[in-house]
A = this chain, B = another copy of it.
């Protein structure tokens, strides 16, 4: 902070030197992962989890900008396939490593090993997680931390003395199979709110003692579910990298007694702003700075609270503890944990969204206008009695032959060749009412984008099937970051609202919230050859059809590795 942009010439020199330096230092980071089921007790209750090398969350991948990350994934599940997505990594030149089953690859069979290789070309906080069925919330997830190349142009425009990483999650005791089968049932059987909120894979199931008394497998004194402790040195400034991999929950994250300065979002530097607590949606990452300037002789809560849905899950907690203070790190703070803002205070969260703009020294100006605009009405619908989510009344289904392979191989029958609708009848549409036409069609058609074109997408939220209800949807785009041009509450009017877009300093993100009854406008350049999913990051919503897929420049994609093939129409390819 307080860092000022140097004159242009100096910049160029700097750029040259630093890219040379970072090139010379570029490393390849190898990881060997084995995916298997293990009994874990993240919230003290024993549950079967999909683990990486026995852990959930999996190991944090640490790398430096310019490095190449190689992850050899051995699938040691008994009967299940896997695929792993590197969330926030744009996969320039490696679209087959995006890990999106049905889009960029066939799933990896039990016994098979699949190698993901990708460059981390930008510093920041990212994550990885399964992108197949509902394995993400079964436990297959973790963090990616990419350091800026030292002294390079992407060096942080802020200073700090130490850093901590915080991965937020929600957790059910029912299996993800049960959740998925319930979602697909007619009538739908909802798994219910999560039992626990996890911080770095740890939580406290509220009814543990009752379960244990009834002979169930819950043990509140397991070290495995002891609250994580984040230690700080008095007077120092810390960067907290915060990521949310929740299946369902929008969260509010607070460090009791410590203001946060938001400095990074989805790998982009933010014009710093100060909050008491941070709203974070599934698929988002932030970095916040805190100053360890409070009484060091007591501990403080880290708290994760559900917002946007009426909470049915207790606060997730961890402990902030000062080195040298008189309080044991393991001692619970003397206070009750923060409960966050009102869960239904949409405007509180809306304001944080709007406040998140690019750091003035790191503005990447968006193209002034779009070549094409896709307006997507987000609604809940019914297909054959089953509840689905739909965009412009089309509910997305994944094809069984990955698009990337199908399109490169000319397998036209692999998916619906009709493009999904670009817009909906927005004139006079009542987004606050229950949709009159609740029918939707299922389709695996995709949007083909002209390579290099500029695309606007406006996501329009609306009322769900039940009256007076509208949820927050965090939409995540693969293969790109997008500029967040604007947010609104109410119906988006293409003739009016684009005039208010922020074209000056919009933040680049890969995941963005669409608030209840609101709209969000974003812009990206279709310049990354490949096929890219764009979907609500709530796992159940994507499962129920809340997504679309973009293709751009697929003809420019090089020879596909055969490892991504072998399913659907590419069986025996």
Q: B-contacting residues of A (Cβ < 8 Å)?
A: 37-39, 48, 78-82, 106-107, 109-112, 132-135, 175, 177-178, 180-182, 185, 189, 214, 400, 562-563, 565-568, 571-573
Contact = CB atoms under 8 A, between A and B. Distances in A.
Given A81-B110, A112-B567, 20 more contacts: A39-B178, A39-B181, A39-B182, A39-B185, A48-B175, A48-B178, A79-B132, A80-B81, A81-B81, A107-B109, A109-B400, A111-B400, A111-B567, A112-B400, A175-B175, A562-B571, A563-B571, A565-B571, A566-B566, A566-B571
Contact of A400 (B78, B110, B132): B110
Contacts of A400: 109-112
A107 to B, nearest CB: 7
Contacts of A109: 81, 106-107, 109, 400, 567-568, 571
Given A48-B177, A181-B37, A78 B572 contact: no
A572 B568 contact: no
A111 B568 contact: yes
Contact of A79 (B135, B568, B571): B135
A400 B132 CA distance: 21
Nearest to A38: B181
A130 to B, nearest CB: 9
Contacts of A185: 38-39
Closest 8 pairs (CB-CB, A-B)? A111-B400, A79-B133, A78-B133, A37-B181, A562-B572, A566-B571, A79-B80, A80-B80
B78 A79 contact: no
A573 B571 CA distance: 8
B112 A568 contact: yes
Contacts of A571: 109, 112, 562-563, 565-566
- Name the residue among A135, A400, A571 with the largest chain B CB count within 10 angstroms: A571
A150 to B, nearest CB: 42
- Name the residue among A38, A78, A79, A185 with the largest chain B CB count within 10 angstroms: A79
Main SS at interface, chain A = loop
Contacts of A110: 81, 107, 400
A394 B260 CA distance: 60
Contacts of A178: 39, 48
Contact of A181 (B48, B80, B132): B48
A292 B109 CA distance: 53
A42 to B, nearest CB: 15
Contacts of A107: 79, 109-110
Contacts of A177: 37, 48, 78, 175
B134 A78 contact: yes
Contacts of A82: 79
A180 B80 contact: no
8 contacts: A38-B185, A39-B178, A48-B177, A79-B107, A79-B133, A80-B81, A107-B109, A175-B175
Contacts of A573: 572
Contacts of A38: 181, 185
A106 B180 CA distance: 25
A48 B38 CA distance: 20
A101 to B, nearest CB: 8
Nearest to A106: B109
A180 B37 contact: yes
A135 B80 CA distance: 11
Contacts of A37: 177, 180-181
A384 to B, nearest CB: 14
A138 to B, nearest CB: 9
- Name the residue among A107, A110, A573 with the largest chain B CB count within 10 angstroms: A110
A383 B227 CA distance: 35
A400 B135 CA distance: 22
- Name the residue among A39, A78, A134, A562 with the largest chain B CB count within 10 angstroms: A78
A400 B180 CA distance: 28
Contacts of A563: 571
A396 to B, nearest CB: 15
Nearest to A185: B39
Contacts of A189: 39
A107 B78 CA distance: 11
A52 to B, nearest CB: 15
A567 B133 CA distance: 20
Nearest to A78: B133
A189 B37 CA distance: 13
A112 B214 CA distance: 43
Contacts of A134: 78
B565 A572 contact: yes
Nearest to A134: B78
A562 B566 CA distance: 11
A236 B259 CA distance: 86
A340 to B, nearest CB: 28
A132 B106 CA distance: 20
A208 to B, nearest CB: 16
A15 to B, nearest CB: 43
A383 to B, nearest CB: 15
A93 to B, nearest CB: 22
Contact of A572 (B133, B214, B566): B566
A175 B132 CA distance: 20
